[in-house]
A = this chain, B = another copy of it.
């Protein structure tokens, strides 16, 4: 039976799925044989119509969402594009996204910029242009009591991270509720899979919060802003350019979110301080598990 969180997600990790991790045998410091599970990486080649775009290394779940989200976050798929078919071949490890509009990115692919921190070669000039068109909703709010509930729920959700480690997670949240929790070897894949879900199911972005386990690099900020999500939270730290881009685009940026502690470096006007200082984190975590 697959482990499930007490919280109801739309999509949550399936750490017991046999395709996502493998058993390997090794030895510990005393020479004892030990068995552990390690996450898989496999290539997935993404086509947009007749054009081969990229081969990504991924754990392999949600290939359609990954392909659509990748293309959307690279601005190769436009917000108003109509997808006519998504063909996935598990044996060939290929996914083909077909659109009504004719596309050709041969030229654009020549001038890739590889961004830092788990990057997959974003068409950088185009991305920066795309950011200028995005306007994040100023009226969005983040209550500090949501923040604690979110991190407590996410941290106790059964995941490949908890069972095998060496993996990144991204979670799309609404208020205090995590809704879509994706994992992958690179966090760019995890966030792209969320972008794919949002595009395919027409999920609105303005009232959402993005949570990531990884660092708040420029790439994560760019993708979140592009997706139209006004708030980005991480348990990890910041980079200078991530902070500068968040301030420039009006993104609410919160890092080092652990228990009731956090640091906000951009967009503090969306924050509502309403957490209760009297609740310590341990009892709070335990309450949530019931």
Residues 246-263 of chain A: 1 if any B CB is under 8 Å from the residue's CB, otherwise 0? 000000000000001111
A41 within 8 A of B: yes
User: Are the C-beta atoms of B116 and A239 separated by less than 8 Å?
Assistant: no
User: Are the C-beta atoms of A166 and B237 separated by less than 8 Å?
Assistant: yes
Closest chain B residue, CB of each to CB of A234: B166
Given contacts A262-B28, A273-B31, contact A41 B113 (CB under 8 A): no
A184 contacts which chain B residues (CB < 8 A)? 116
Within 8 Å by CB of A237, from B38, B260, B273, lies B38
A243 within 8 A of B: yes
Closest chain B residue, CB of each to CB of A36: B263
A260 contacts which chain B residues (CB < 8 A)? 29
Q: A103-148: which residues lie under 8 A (CB-CB) from chain B?
A: 109-110, 112-121, 124, 144
Within 8 Å by CB of A243, from B38, B241, B265, lies B38
Beyond A41-B240, A166-B238, A185-B217, 6 extra complex contacts between A and B, CB < 8 Å:
A26-B268, A28-B261, A40-B240, A41-B241, A58-B116, A117-B118
A5 within 8 A of B: no
CA distance A239 to B36 in the complex (A): 11
Closest chain B residue, CB of each to CB of A263: B26
Given contacts A27-B263, A28-B261, contact A38 B240 (CB under 8 A): yes
